[in-house]
Amino acid sequence: MSIPIASHAFYLPSITKCNDEDKQERANMALVFDQYKDRLATLPKEKGWITENVYMYQGFWHQSSRRISVETVMALQDTFKARPTDIYLATLPKSGTTWLKALVFSLVNRNLYKNNRLSTHPLLVSNPHNCLPFIEIEVFRNTPTYVDPHSLRLFATHIPYTSLPQSILDSGCRLVYLCRNPKDVLVSMFHFANKLRDKSRGLMTFEEAFELFSRGVMPTGPYWDHVKGYHKVSLEYPKNVLFLTYEDMNINTMNNVKRLAKFLGYPFTEEEEAEGAVQGIIRLCSYENLSEVNKHGNLREDIPNGAFFREGKVGDWTNYLTGEMNRIIDEITKEKFYGLDISWCPTC
């Protein structure tokens, strides 16, 4: 069987922008902020993890900042045009987005970087976030230059299912959702927020993070509603939506990577399997490799590359949650996921 080849690999060799591009991007963002400012003013507010506030839009909390903003979600809803051939990766922040981006980029483009071309693979020198853009961040800001009209398009998003642009829902495209157990998301988000917060705000305590998280307040949360939205649609449209968990990806990496490849329309051939192609991709996208490559340097807006790699483990929450915090999260999860087959692993 022959493997379909991606007609185009999205890859930004560098996110360094020249002054003119940067100015243009700031001007575009200013226009969007201005266009939606009246709507923003009507939204309920809460204390933010990274930014000062988060805003409730269509049942979910969003930031409003130059990095990522609810105004962009509104603008995408008004303007974004999906194509049936697009592939979307959806996650809550800190659920393994970076890993999933690396895996999908490598799977789809594996023929471009075979054998002696492996040394030119972007993931050996660059952050997975440079390889596969978020629709609400890079794509939105740079649509004309980033998107070749004939290319296969790989996109990521944190936008909740019910707030996705209608054109995505109507397009019949494929979407992969990666879910992670709530306690590890909480711990991971706590560390990430403390790395990115304005120094003037001081560090967040874990108690503060827990209090916000358990009330559903986190960027693109409530956690439970985000997961439920995508889980439901994965049951309704299994050919279009694949629901994976970070924990199962860790435990059964090989099976899940093969499953992912098949779902995306890029299944491994017997020959590739015999040659160890699956293991090669797993190694390339491993925490060990990616965290080493991304030890230094920054992603856009001065986010250190290293901020996306901390422990990369399942169950680190046991080092942070008290017995009472654990009980509360379990109780909320049991209630919110009642009757749903969403689980992680016995010890998660």
Hey, which residues are catalytic here?
158
Nearest to residue 158, comparing CAs of 218, 235, 232, 241?
218
Q: Nearest 5 degrees, angle CA 283-CA 223-CA 303? A: 55
Burial 302-325 (b: 16+ CB within 10 A, else e): ebebbbbbbebebbebeebbeeeb
Which of the residues 189 through 208 are near ligand A3P (CB under 6 A)? 191
Pull the structure tokens for residue 6. 């991606």
Among positions 138, 184, 248, 272, the unique one binding ligand A3P when judged by CB under 6 A: 184
Among positions 139, 285, 329, 348, the unique one binding ligand A3P when judged by CB under 6 A: 285
Q: How far is the CB of 34 from ligand A3P (least distance, A)?
A: 30
261 vs 290 by CB, closer to ligand A3P: 290
Q: Are 7 and 150 in contact (CB under 8 A)?
A: yes
Euclidean distance between CA atoms 29 and 33, whole angstroms = 6
Is 63 a binder of ligand A3P (CB under 6 A)?
Answer: no
Region for 202 from its dihedrals, namely left if φ exceeds 0, alpha if ψ lies in -120 to 50, beta otherwise: left
Q: Are 144 and 211 in contact (CB under 8 A)?
A: no
Q: Are 197 and 204 in contact (CB under 8 A)?
A: yes
Burial-class residue 180 by CB neighbours within 10 Å (0-12, 13-18, 19+).
buried
269 vs 318 by CB, closer to ligand A3P: 318
Euclidean distance between CA atoms 337 and 115, whole angstroms = 45
Contact region with ligand A3P (CB under 6 A), list: 55-63, 76-84, 88-96, 259-267: 88-96
Is 75 a binder of ligand A3P (CB under 6 A)?
Answer: no
Contact region with ligand A3P (CB under 6 A), list: 90-98, 145-153, 228-236, 271-279: 90-98
Each residue 223-262 as x (binds ligand A3P by CB under 6 A) or -, in order, gives: ----------------------------------------
Q: Which amino acid is at 289?
A: N
68 vs 75 by CB, closer to ligand A3P: 68
Each residue 93-132 as x (binds ligand A3P by CB under 6 A) or -, in order, gives: xxxxxxx---------------------------------
SS3 content of the chain, % helix, strand, coil (to 5): 55, 10, 35
Q: How far is the CB of 192 from ligand A3P (least distance, A)?
A: 7
136 vs 184 by CB, closer to ligand A3P: 184
Each residue 299-328 as x (binds ligand A3P by CB under 6 A) or -, in order, gives: ---------xxxxx---x------------
Q: Which residues bind ligand A3P (CB under 6 A)?
A: 91, 93-99, 184, 188, 191, 285-287, 290, 308-312, 316
